[in-house]
Structure 1
Amino acid sequence: MLNLPPVSEAPGLNAYPVLYWNHVGLEMNRITHSLSGPQSGPTLSARVLGLLHLAMHDAYFSVLGAGIDGNPKTWLPDAAVTALPTGTERTLTNANAAMTAAAITVIDHQYGSLPASISTVARSTMTHLRMQLIDGYGPHIDALSAVHRHGVAVANLILDRLAIKPGEPGAGHQGYEPRSGRFHFRDEPQHPVALVPIDPDEPSKGLKPARTYHGPFYGTTARPMAVTDPEGHRLAKWPGGDEYEAALKEVHGAGGAPNLPKTTREPDQTVAALYWAYDGANLIGTPPRLYNQILRVVAWDKRDPAANPQDETLEATIRQTSEFVRLFALANVAMADAGKFAWAEKYRFELWRPLSGIREHDKSSQADHEGTAAVTEGADPFWLALGAPRTNTDQASFKPPFPAYPSGHATFGAACFQIARLFFADVGKATVTPNGTDDIGFAFVSEELNGISRDLDGPYDPNRPLTDQPGLVRTHVKRRFPSLWSAIWENAFSRIWLGVHWRFDAFDFRDAIGTDGTYKKPQDVRYSNVWIKKRPADVNDADLPIGGVPLGLGIANDIWQSGMRASDAETMPQQAHAYA
């Protein structure tokens, strides 16, 4: 059995059905990453949350109707929306019932088929926990009702159009071979291979080496969800020359392992590095889970106090529920598309990470080089990064198994928080400056630093509560942000302090550096060159944005401006389903 540490958040959130099923999705995220289950990694975990919330959104609004209180249309094209069963009343009770059916359908579809690569015990545990979460929903679920069947039908339409199909590569890497040579992503020297069980049910059969590269084909084969300009979300090549040298020098000091003499990272920077990590960690999961957790805090702080989820006839309750459904669908669809387009760029450029770049900065590291008299300035063949933490295990930190540029964290975080900024400004609950700061402040305790998560002294025991397992406990830190704009900044910057990203992986640092050569305050930063609708296909590469933040901002802006309707690719299913 898997003992999940409790989630700490304000009571009452899950009384709203949409927030309960969001909670289930987030729990399945950390469960699957703890048991090596399906839909793992940043791309697929973002996609399943996008599918979950998009299915709930369309089931809910197809029942409640687009004319009530200005509710938006469905993502599905009007002609494709399943007709309501005869006699179905357009009530919040029925809308929630259809939404619940859609949620269960997606959860079962995405997590019900378990890979043979995990043990029988893990398979049984995943199934038990999934059913336990579904059974934990308070209201009665009438699976025989017409409105429930309607929700199932809507979810299946969404899954048919957007779920990864059997035989498609998804995040798999079969057939991919990384390139060799200077600047190219490849196996990191600290952990070039992982040892995995030959037979997960028979440990006595031993281990075998495995190389893992996450999602090399995902960006070019996964269907977009809601962007209207797929060709427009591209990036300029990462900068070379003086900017590359400056980025190398910075991460060498700010991102190094604690015991290295040249590591200059301050305690607050180390806190930020770990705070935003969520690198598929045991009992924690991936970044899309973290951004949803923060969104829950912000949305709850801005809820209408007149709404009461126990009284579904109140106008305030209907309006508040609709806001939650719309917000979480927009944010999770934006993150799903952020994963697709960030990974398309990652494997278009295939840039190495700092661990390889710093260790091999001297050209003599190339096998065919004639050699150098001394190691080049900036090179450090023995450098180690702080690294992405393998929290709640006894394993060493690691470098994510995919190229550096652009940063996935920067792209996911910017997409999610920009959607939230646009949404709350639109409903009159926030003041937001376009491409600037806002007044959406929040405080949040990351599960990386909650006073429970730890670096274990021995292997993790799933049969024992984490609090009963020996190891170095991470200090409880509650971090407060004055705005979502500042959160976008720190989330992106945190990856430099882990030593797993270059600064240009996040954004163009000409936007962030003041005239005195130091970094501006987050509220003073304006990100340049964010997506422009229908940018010419032949635009000069140098005129495109740099880094994950403008990429994520642009994806969010695109989806927001279009109203989150089915992408152009969805009108051409024979093309949308094709892949190379």
Structure 2
Amino acid sequence: MARSPLTKEIIMLNFPPVSEAPGLNAYPVLYWNHVGLEMNRITHSLGGPQGGPTLSARALGLLHLAMHDAYFSVLGAGIGDNPKTWLPDAVVPALPTGVERTLTNANAAMTAAAVTVINLQYGSLPASMSTTARSTMVHLRMQLIDGYGPHIDTLSAVHGHGVRVANLILDRLAIKTGEPGAGHEGYEPKSGRFYFRDEPQHPVALVPIDPDDRSKGLKPARAYHGPFYGTTARPMAVTDPEGHRLAHWPEGGEYDAAVKEVHALGGAPNLSTTTRQPDQTVAALYWAYDGVNLIGTPPRLYNQILRVVAWDKRDPAADPQTPTLHATIRQTSEFVRLFALANVAMADAGKFAWAEKYRFELWRPLSGIREHDESSEAGRDGTEAVTDCADPFWLALGAPRTNTDQASFKPPFPAYPSGHATFGAACFQMARLYYAEAGKAMVTPDGTDDIGFAFVSEELNGISRDLDGPYDPNRPLTDQPGLVRTYVKRRFPSLWSAIWENAFSRIWLGVHWRFDAFDFRDAIGTDGKYKKPHDVRYSNVWTKKRPADVTDADLPIGGVPLGLGIANDIWQGGMRASDAETIPERAHAYA
């Protein structure tokens, strides 16, 4: 396997261990999922590629889609219970002569696809990384690949087959050189009331002029994540790309109610106006994963929970060390299919959520509450007194910069809809649909289910902390002074309740309005209070092929129905490519 040269100096990056049941990574698909999740937190700790919620979700979607198609193309897509590949039938490479349709060969092809995607997605490193960080990134990536137990025979025919499948998918779906991706070059935020722009607390960041020579000083930089991503990134598996749109965010009385709510529930702890309860603060931090040091982004969190759920529902008769056992083949296939469905759904959730974010460009509460009084806008007449709920000095609890000594922040992209709400709903809805069809869960299509789980978030694992000084990457986190976050194991009776709390957590964090997540009419009871999660029904979710004359009033509000609709669309379409276009094969491999 090809190796990139390493310098002698690398950062040790002592990652806290992940706490989960032993045995998961004996299944190759779960090992490579683990590698993808590790690369997520590595790249966000080193400032590497595929950063932020959009690209990190896309990287995991590409990884699992390539593994899915390599695996099922060997077992025989469409044979028996095996699902069709994402790639159109006419495009799937023929199985090399002499390669038998066995689990061992399917796992080998899947491994080749995984390595190909990981090396391509994380092998091209940005100039903003220091030489030491780049060397560390290469070292850790190769260490994870080498940590795979079985020998990877890169010269075998089945390995070559997996590489070809991965490259066909990458040619279609990977962000190409010259495409904007999540970059913001050329983007200028709008000015004026309601528009997203630089947050008042951190309008600029200071970054090194030369990452290898900090003596050259710092320069100011503004960060806007993904302004062109939603309109330029190719969708992965939705069948109705024009159908996943949202209504305009609500104005008038509902907007004012949302202002009052987040002002009280999302404020900084030291403000006299903050009424958030301890359990709400726990939930706010529990679901955060805001691209921070040693933790990464929300798609990593949702995959971690999916691992818990999938392992709990595994077939106890399956044994990954017995490749001839029928139960093992069936169980492996289940993992391959489920994780591909969920991660492709999250990849598309990122695209469509960001398309809507930058279509509306709505400000976040930190700006909206501080500038709620119309006199805050240049050119307006003054007011005799500040408008009710306008608070020019308000501060949010904010997205936590965990495992650093830096202050909390507002995510650098517009509020509506909530990315957390969209990603979480897409992932968990896909799991609900999958287990309902498999007969492993009781699921109400637009309501609750019996897929319960317990999970310890790495934001609240008794190790992560708010540091007293700069993070030292060469020292274990447990040896660094700071306020340690209390260990909390949170239990959920259903994935439906997790969808709800994940979405609501952003209000308690003070970085989202409630309509960023859901239509309040679906969530508020006749008594004016919030319903219990199991009583909530999201009444307006995507339905296949909306009529061309659909009005704004017909569209859903918020990230939860957007994510649910994306999952429903992909599920109903069987996670197939949207067309049968022939794709030229790459002239070289990335293995």
Q: Same fold (TM over 0.5)?
A: yes
- Asked if 1:135 corresponds to 2:154, the answer is no
In the alignment, what sits opposite 2:3?
A: none
Cα distance, 1:370 vs. partner? 1.4
- Asked if 1:440 corresponds to 2:457, the answer is no
Of 175, 185, 201, the residue aligned with 1:190 is: 201
In the alignment, what sits opposite 1:484?
A: 495
Aligned equivalents of 1:507 and 1:567: distance in 2?
29
List 4+ stretches of structure 1 deviating above 3 A. 570-574
1:299-321 Cα deviation digits (max 9, x unpaired): 00000000000001000000000
* Aligned residue runs from structure 1 range 97-246, under 5 A: 97-246=108-257
In the alignment, what sits opposite 1:277?
A: 288
Give 5+ residue unaligned stretches, structure 2. Answer: 1-10, 585-591
In the alignment, what sits opposite 1:31?
A: 42
In the alignment, what sits opposite 2:314?
A: 303
Secondary structure (helix, strand or coil) at the match of 1:195 reads strand
In the alignment, what sits opposite 1:48?
A: 59
In the alignment, what sits opposite 1:404?
A: 415
- Asked if 1:370 corresponds to 2:381, the answer is yes
Cα distance, 1:67 vs. partner? 4.5
Aligned length: 573
Give the partner amino acid of 2:81.
G
8 Å CA contact 1:282–1:391 kept in 2: the answer is yes
Aligned equivalents of 2:582 and 2:364: distance in 1?
37
Aligned equivalents of 1:451 and 1:177: distance in 2?
41
Give the partner amino acid of 1:122.
A
Give the partner amino acid of 1:391.
T
Aligned equivalents of 1:306 and 1:571: distance in 2?
41
- Asked if 1:267 corresponds to 2:278, the answer is yes
In the alignment, what sits opposite 2:587?
A: none
Cα distance, 1:50 vs. partner? 0.2
Cα distance, 1:68 vs. partner? 4.6
In the alignment, what sits opposite 1:79?
A: 90
In the alignment, what sits opposite 2:589?
A: none
Aligned equivalents of 2:412 and 2:583: distance in 1?
31
Q: What TM-score does the superposition give when structure 1 sets the normalisation length? A: 0.98
1:493-512 Cα deviation digits (max 9, x unpaired): 00000000000000001000
- Asked if 1:94 corresponds to 2:105, the answer is yes
Of 348, 360, 379, the residue aligned with 1:349 is: 360
Give 5+ residue unaligned stretches, structure 1. Answer: 575-580
8 Å CA contact 1:253–1:262 kept in 2: the answer is yes
In the alignment, what sits opposite 1:577?
A: none
* Aligned residue runs from structure 1 range 381-396, under 5 A: 381-396=392-407
Of 514, 536, 544, the residue aligned with 1:503 is: 514
Secondary structure (helix, strand or coil) at the match of 2:523 reads coil
Of 532, 539, 553, the residue aligned with 1:521 is: 532
Give the partner amino acid of 1:551.
L
- Asked if 1:360 corresponds to 2:398, the answer is no
Secondary structure (helix, strand or coil) at the match of 1:511 reads helix
User: Judging changes above 3 Å, is the alpha-carbon distance between structure 1 residues 185 and 545 closer, same or farther for their aligned structure 2 residues?
Assistant: same
8 Å CA contact 1:197–1:208 kept in 2: the answer is yes
User: Judging changes above 3 Å, is the alpha-carbon distance between structure 1 residues 122 and 244 closer, same or farther for their aligned structure 2 residues?
Assistant: same
Cα distance, 1:543 vs. partner? 1.4
8 Å CA contact 2:171–2:583 kept in 1: the answer is no
- Asked if 1:328 corresponds to 2:339, the answer is yes
Q: What TM-score does the superposition give when structure 2 sets the normalisation length? A: 0.96
User: Judging changes above 3 Å, is the alpha-carbon distance between structure 1 residues 146 and 573 closer, same or farther for their aligned structure 2 residues?
Assistant: closer
- Asked if 1:4 corresponds to 2:15, the answer is yes
1:351-396 Cα deviation digits (max 9, x unpaired): 0000000000001111101111110111000000000000000000
1:406-448 Cα deviation digits (max 9, x unpaired): 0000000000000000001111110101101000000000000
In the alignment, what sits opposite 1:316?
A: 327
In the alignment, what sits opposite 2:571?
A: 560
8 Å CA contact 2:259–2:365 kept in 1: the answer is yes
Aligned equivalents of 1:462 and 1:363: distance in 2?
46
Secondary structure (helix, strand or coil) at the match of 1:3 reads coil
Secondary structure (helix, strand or coil) at the match of 1:231 reads coil
Cα distance, 1:206 vs. partner? 1.1
Secondary structure (helix, strand or coil) at the match of 1:472 reads strand
1:132-154 Cα deviation digits (max 9, x unpaired): 00000001110000000000000
Aligned equivalents of 1:423 and 1:377: distance in 2?
47
Aligned equivalents of 1:140 and 1:314: distance in 2?
21
Give the partner amino acid of 2:566.
I
In the alignment, what sits opposite 1:458?
A: 469
8 Å CA contact 1:232–1:537 kept in 2: the answer is no
Give the partner amino acid of 1:289.
R
8 Å CA contact 1:231–1:537 kept in 2: the answer is no
For the aligned residue pairs, the C-alpha RMSD in angstroms reads 1.0
Aligned equivalents of 2:456 and 2:352: distance in 1?
29
Give the partner amino acid of 1:233.
H
